[in-house]
Amino acid sequence: MNKDISAHNLSIYVANRPGALARIAQTFSRRGFNIESLVVSPGATGDFSRMTITAKGDEAGLEQIIMQCSKLVDVLACREHTDEEVVARELVLVKVAVDSGHRGEVLQIADHFHAKTVDLSEKSIVLEATGSSEKLDAMVDLLRKFKIIELVRTGKVIMARGERET
Amino acid sequence: MSENQMNGAEALIQSLEKIGIEIMFGLPGGSAIPLFDALYKVRRKMKFVLVRHEQGAAHEADGYARATGKPAAVLVTSGPGATNTVTGIMTAYMDSVPMVVVTGQSVRGMLGKDAFQEADVFNLTMPIVKHSYLVRSANDIPRIVKEAYHIATTGRPGPVLIDVPKDVGTEACTVGLEAEMNLPGYKPEPKGYGPETIRQIAEALAKSRRPVIIAGHGAVLSRAENELRQLAETLDAPVATTLLGKGVFPDSHRLSLQGLGMHGTAFANRAVVECDLMISVGARLDDRILGVPGEFCKNAVKIHIDIDAAEFGKLVKPDIRCRGDAKAVLQDLLPLLKRGDTADWLKRIEGFKKKWPMGYAKKGGLHPPQVIDALNKLTGGKAIMATDVGQHQMWAWQFYHCDKPWQFISSGGAGTMGFGLPAAIGAQFGRPGETVIAIVGDGGFQMTMNELATAAIHKLPVKIILMNNHYLGMVRQWQDMFYDERYSGVDLEGNPDFVDLAKAYGILGLNLKRAADIPKVLKKALEHPGPALVNVEVVHHEEVYPMVPPGKPLEETVLCHPRRKPGRPAGRKNSRPAKAGAKNA
Ligand SMILES: Cc1ncc(C[n+]2csc(CCOP(=O)(O)OP(=O)(O)O)c2C)c(N)n1
Ligand SMILES: [Mg+2]
């Protein structure tokens, strides 16, 4: 496929109505955009939700999607943000098998990434880490040399820096 | 519930009336009985038309809106009743036609449990509506109806669906009919541009020596015909119209190029190829008019005026984009314009018109364009024309000349066969005093001919001109031209006797079989006070030209096919179409 396919951060501010999520998801899928992560959370005021979507696709397609999303009756704003414009955070929970002597090594990695141990049993350890998606990728990659039993990530949430609106 | 308290269904019917819906097309069923009961009890002025198939209801509402500019409502039951409207909703959506569709639904407690006639219509129709509601409480109804109407009719119009669970219809509505809309995200923005954009457009127009204006449905919807005419006359620029833009610029005007695109005139297509500036007023520049998107007006300045920002750059990247209502934009633009310096250009275009005039065969049987041309003369180009989809549609577009908008009604974006007759019926309801003609093919007519009943019962004087070529002609044409005459699934053998069929409904049925009888038979149908159907036995093999073959740029407009005998048996080898392309100009 296309080479200029890259990941984009989109933030959508939407009236909290039934069907809003489905309409937005359809807008992406119809145009062949694969949603990598999607976070829906209540907005600062009650009747609105904030959706943060990370999706891969080409620039022209992205422009269409932003315009098509903006046009939805429930959508107040749909914006793309570059990584530089925003603070971005993601949280991961990872359960690693630690049968014999590996526990110390796993804890060392956790320490390096400021991850917390949130559960510990004889055979496994659950780590929690927050940070940029790249940082979490790096930690998870290092942990792969042990046995990762389960992995859950929240998906990226973003907020525009300074006075800009997300 | 006390005597004078209303329930949700009554609130719905009264709200629709209050907001200005004048007519409703539909057919009841279990889940919709409360809605129909309310119709029985509280309806005052709003007309209700019982159809024979729900697709007809949606197309009738559509035809009504395209003839009057006012939306109509559709009222059907849940499940199959609702799914039968899907084609009609999609047809309206593709062509930006306002419509309010109300569907009955299973009771709230049964949703998602595969109840009898339960279909998730809200989700099913999501990609083909402008917006939709699943009503959860009777007290929401007055607000929802108001919002639905507002959304359907403002900005870029479109269909809005309201799905009403049966028990919401019977629940008390205690809030009264006055309601506030709550649409924080809806921004139709008739003026989404600034003075800088208008100045840029004016400057580009001032520099152009070979401008072309393309006018589409948006110009019709915004009622910009006068401004469009001033634009053309001030710039002295030729105007081509899209299928849905027909009539917004008079076909008879000296600056008219008539239609452009796949079956547009060769002179319109050539003008678009040679222009140095293209300004689109409310056309979405879809694939049927572009030829090859990347080749379209490649070296010309492209200005795109549209109320829907999502149209910019969809297929054509404009140099100047101007988001706004066509009429508002042109009103702002006109004072900045200077007289165009286009004498040489217009002379060249006159040359194109002489070189490639629109024409048609007259010998060897009856030819559809002949019949359309005769209708044009007999009605002075003043009839409301509703077409079905196929070859006859393109001939109607090419040979019926309209000088007014809201006059030519055709399914463009969707290309929905079966649209013609119900659309004509809807148009006739909207404009009762006027001549409404449905141009249909033998294929598409048979998809919704059950609506003959509606025409007969309401004594609607629609004139159905059935171009009977015993083929799914348009598909046969493609098979002829691009698939070496492998006619697959296009022979309509076993067509009924359409004249007898009309008679069975109490409708005047006439046969037209010889060219010499054209005026006589058409006149008889036109003068008949009630509905009439004319079965026109046209030649079986005839192609629509000019044609831009699919996947080819407008330069490669094909002008004509070598003449040959009609009724040629299928499968015989034949020479390929002549590429007497406008290319060799
Ligand atoms: C509902 C639907 N089904 C199929 C098509 C594809 N199609 C386009 S034109 C056409 C042939 C129409 O035949 P007819 O109504 O006889 O008109 P003609 O082209 O012969 O004038 C077909 C099958 C369509 N447009 N709509
Ligand atoms: Mg036919």
Give the CATH number, domain containing residue B211: 3.40.50.1220
Neighbours of ion ligand 2 (CB under 5 A): B 441-443, 469, 471, 473
Helical H segments across B300-405, by residue range:
326-333, 343-355, 368-379, 391-399
Decide if pLDDT at B383 tops 70. Answer: yes
Mark whether B84 and B14 lie in a shared domain: yes
Q: Is residue B183 part of a domain?
A: no
Provide the phi-psi class of B407: left if phi over 0, else alpha when psi is between -120 and 50, else beta.
alpha
Is B441 touching ligand 1 by the criterion CB < 6 Å?
yes
The side-by-side arrangement of strands in the sheet containing B436-441 is: B408-409, B384-387, B436-441, B463-468, B532-537, B508-512
Q: Is residue B182 part of a domain?
A: no
CA nearest neighbour of B85 among B108, B65, B62: B62
What is the per-residue pLDDT for B423? Answer: 99
Q: Is residue B58 part of a domain?
A: yes
- Tell me the CATH class for A6-81: alpha beta
Helical H segments across A34-148, by residue range:
59-71, 103-112, 133-143
Please report, for residues B246, B397, B407, the alpha-carbon distance to residue B250 in angstroms, rounded to integers and kept in the order given.
Answer: 8, 13, 11
Q: Is residue B550 part of a domain?
A: no
Total length of chain B:
585
Decide if pLDDT at B577 tops 60. Answer: no
Helical H segments across chain A, by residue range:
20-30, 59-71, 103-112, 133-143
What is the per-residue pLDDT for B561? Answer: 66
Q: Give the end of a domain, one of B326, B355, B384.
A: B355
Number of domains chain B contains: 3
CB pairs under 8 A between A and B: 43
Four-point Cα dihedral B429, B421, B370, B258, nearest 10: 70
Are B134 and A18 inside 8 Å of each other by CB?
A: yes
Residue percentage of chain A with pLDDT more than 70? 97
Q: Distance, in angstroms, between A68 CA and closest chain B CA?
A: 6
pLDDT digits (tens, 9 = 90+) for B511-525: 999 999 999 999 999
CB-nearest partner of B126 from A23, A63, A64: A23
Fold held by A87-159: Alpha-Beta Plaits (3.30.70)
Structure tokens at A132: 């940029």
A18 touches chain B (CB under 8 A): yes
A53 touches chain B (CB under 8 A): no
Contact status, residue A69 vs residue A27, Cβ threshold 8 Å: yes
User: Considering only B2-6, B98-102, B263-267, which range has the smallest mean pLDDT?
Assistant: B2-6
* Gap between the Cα atoms of B13 and B39, Å rounded: 6
Mean pLDDT value across chain B: 94
Residue percentage of chain B with pLDDT more than 70? 95
Q: Give the end of a domain, one of B529, B544, B559.
A: B544
Are A64 and B314 inside 8 Å of each other by CB?
A: yes
CA of B475 to the centre of ligand 2 (A): 9
Decide if pLDDT at B189 tops 90. Answer: no
Mark whether B330 and B388 lie in a shared domain: no
pLDDT digits (tens, 9 = 90+) for B92-101: 999 999 999 9
- Decide the pairing of beta strands B99-105 and B159-165: parallel
Where do the domains of chain A lie? 6-81, 87-159
Mark whether B201 and B350 lie in a shared domain: yes
What is the per-residue pLDDT for A2? Answer: 46
Q: Is residue B497 part of a domain?
A: yes
Are B185 and A74 inside 8 Å of each other by CB?
A: yes
Decide if pLDDT at B34 tops 90. Answer: yes
What pLDDT band is residue B156 in, cutting at 50, 70 and 90? Answer: very high
Mark whether B201 and B316 lie in a shared domain: yes
Q: Which atom of ligand 1 approaches the CA of B415 most closely?
A: 25
* Gap between the Cα atoms of B71 and B23, Å rounded: 9
Decide if pLDDT at B135 tops 90. Answer: yes
Q: Is residue B3 part of a domain?
A: no
pLDDT digits (tens, 9 = 90+) for A108-151: 999 999 999 999 999 999 999 999 999 999 999 999 999 999 99
Is B245 touching ligand 1 by the criterion CB < 6 Å?
no
What is the per-residue pLDDT for B262? Answer: 96
Are A73 and B312 inside 8 Å of each other by CB?
A: no
Mark whether B149 and B234 lie in a shared domain: no
Q: Give the end of a domain, one of B355, B387, B422.
A: B355
What is the per-residue pLDDT for B571? Answer: 43
Q: Distance, in angstroms, between A30 CA and closest chain B CA?
A: 9
pLDDT digits (tens, 9 = 90+) for B212-260: 999 999 999 999 999 999 999 999 999 999 999 999 999 999 999 999 9
* Gap between the Cα atoms of B577 and B547, Å rounded: 11
> Residue written as tokens 């003026």?
B191
CA B13 from centroid of its chain's CA atoms: 28
Decide if pLDDT at B333 tops 60. Answer: yes
CB-nearest partner of A75 from B132, B185, B314: B185
Report the CATH number that the domain containing residue B513 is assigned in CATH: 3.40.50.970
Cα four-point dihedral sign B60, B63, B67, B71: positive
Mark whether B386 and B343 lie in a shared domain: no
ipTM score assigned to the predicted complex? 0.90
Cα atoms in the 13 Å half-sphere on the side-chain side of B477: 20
CB-nearest partner of B313 from A18, A63, A76: A63
Q: Is residue B563 part of a domain?
A: no
* Gap between the Cα atoms of B24 and B13, Å rounded: 10
What is the per-residue pLDDT for B1? Answer: 52
What does the DSSP 8-state code read for residue B160?
E
Are B185 and A67 inside 8 Å of each other by CB?
A: no
What pLDDT band is residue B311 in, cutting at 50, 70 and 90? Answer: very high
What is the per-residue pLDDT for A1? Answer: 42
Mark whether B414 and B531 lie in a shared domain: yes
Mark whether B337 and B373 lie in a shared domain: no
When pLDDT is averaged across residues B344-358 and rounded to a whole number, the result is: 97
* Gap between the Cα atoms of B154 and B138, Å rounded: 25
Is B388 touching ligand 1 by the criterion CB < 6 Å?
yes
pLDDT digits (tens, 9 = 90+) for A13-39: 999 999 999 999 999 999 888 899 999
Mark whether B218 and B269 lie in a shared domain: yes
Q: Is residue B196 part of a domain?
A: yes
**Active site residues per annotation of B:** 54, 116-117, 166, 474
B313 touches chain A (CB under 8 A): yes
Print the domain residue range for B408. 368-544
CA of B447 to the centre of ligand 2 (A): 12
